[in-house]
Amino acid sequence: MTFKTIALCGALALVTTSTATAAELTRRPFGQTPSGEAVEAFTLTNAKGVSATVITYGATLQSLIAPDKAGKKADIVLGFNDAATYVKNASYFGASVGRFANRIGKGRFELDGKTYQLALNNNGVAALHGGVKGFDKVVWKVLSTKSGPTASVTLGYVSPDGDQGYPGTVNATATYALDEQNQLTITYGATTDKPTIVNMTNHALFNAAGEGAPEGAMGNVLTIPANGYTPVDNELIPTGAITPVAGTAFDFRTPTAVGKRIRDASDPQLVVGKGYDHNYVLNGKAGGALRLAARLADPKSGRVLEILSDQPGIQFYSGNFLDASWVGKSGKLYRQGDGIALEPQHFPDAPNKPQFAPVRLDPGKTYRNVMVFKVSVAK
């Protein structure tokens, strides 16, 4: 293995390389926050033309490059080219979200007889993705980097006791690893010094046709192996029920274009969500071996993204609130439906729904969420 140092953007970037079959890691500056904190970018690249870029602001997946059936590469993750825009944007593009991903109704939950009030940052009715300043809005520390055969970067963040209203000091980690099988594995971990709740995930918005594609992501063909989903109330908080998908617009057990039924106003759940913004109850055992959670394919380019997960659910969000307010990496305005999120996680509002899988984390235990984004080309 060899090491090379190159000048880039007025600073030094470290490049680690090895054999032709080993993934490599590059490191470069990515701007800074308004307070002057430096943000770095790490790019993991394998020999098959697949690469992923992660930035330290929000432990964010900034880019995922995948070739199509003709070998043409495209970025299939929505995002921006500089740290300053990520700081200004509130759409969580590619971010690691926590302490608790998704919504907690009224921002309240009870633990060991004590009620905790969290920051209300979702129309004043819920705590969303960890609060006003969740894991997505801080600069994470670089803990380790590694080159092939699997290239990886591990980032860490310490969330103090009382942060956004949550109890306990939480040490969170996010590891991104790319191998030669075109698999980007994200592993989230957390420990605590007192009982708390944790539910982390990645909020990447994908478009298998390519970020900024003029047709958007509504033509992407989606498969979700789930027999049920959790319907929501008018505030998008799960009611606590699990509804079968059979015979509804929520049935993606067979491959279906994302946009085929999205405007079906006869389904009140699509009306309240302004599209899809719902948690699916994944088939198979949670907490064990990874199993398929979703498959996204673009018929024109042949690009395929498979998501494997060990979590009980996956949130499907169809980009309903993108309103052309932001210019993306390719210089195109991001509009409604230009990208979709597929977020492996525990169920929303789980702390207030005892029928859902528990999200409690105690001292001496380790929270873990493993997801794999595997890119390929349809045969």
d(CA 360, CA 58) in angstroms, rounded, equals 23
Binding-site positions: 102-103, 277
Encoding tokens for residue 49? 């033309």
How would DSSP label each residue in 276-325?
-EEEEEESS-TTSS-EEEEEEE-TTT-EEEEEEE-SSEEEEE--TT--S-
Task: Decide if 267 contacts 239 (C-beta within 8 A).
Answer: no
CA gap 221, 208 in Å, rounded: 9
Task: Give the C-alpha separation, 183 to 166, whole Å.
Answer: 33
Spatial separation of the C-alpha atoms in residues 71 and 299, rounded to whole Å: 15
Which residue type sits at 365?
A: K
Tell me if residue 129 is catalytic.
no
Q: Please name which of 347, 344, 354 lies closest in space to residue 311, comparing C-alpha atoms.
A: 344
Q: Tell me, yes or no, if 343 is annotated catalytic.
A: yes
What are the phi and psi torsion angles at 187 (to 5°)? Answer: -120, 120
The tokens of 31 are what?
């701007």
Q: Residue 227 has which token pair? A: 């027999």
Q: Which listed residue (129, 306, 343, 346) is catalytic?
A: 343
Q: Which two tokens stand for residue 219?
A: 């033509």
**Residue in this structure with the two tokens 């989903």, named with its chain if needed:** 229
> In angstroms, rounded to a whole number, what is the distance separating the alpha carbons of residues 313 and 158?
26
Mark the binding-site residues for beta-D-galactose, compressed into ranges: 102-103, 277
Q: Please give the torsion angle defined by the CA atoms of residues 306, 309, 311 and 314, in that order, rounded to the nearest 10 degrees.
A: -10
| H or E element in which residue 85 lies | helix 83-88
Catalytic residue selected from 129, 203, 278, 346? 203
The SS3 assignment for 273 reads helix
The CA distance from 76 to 50, in Å, is 11
Catalytically active residues, by annotation: 203, 343
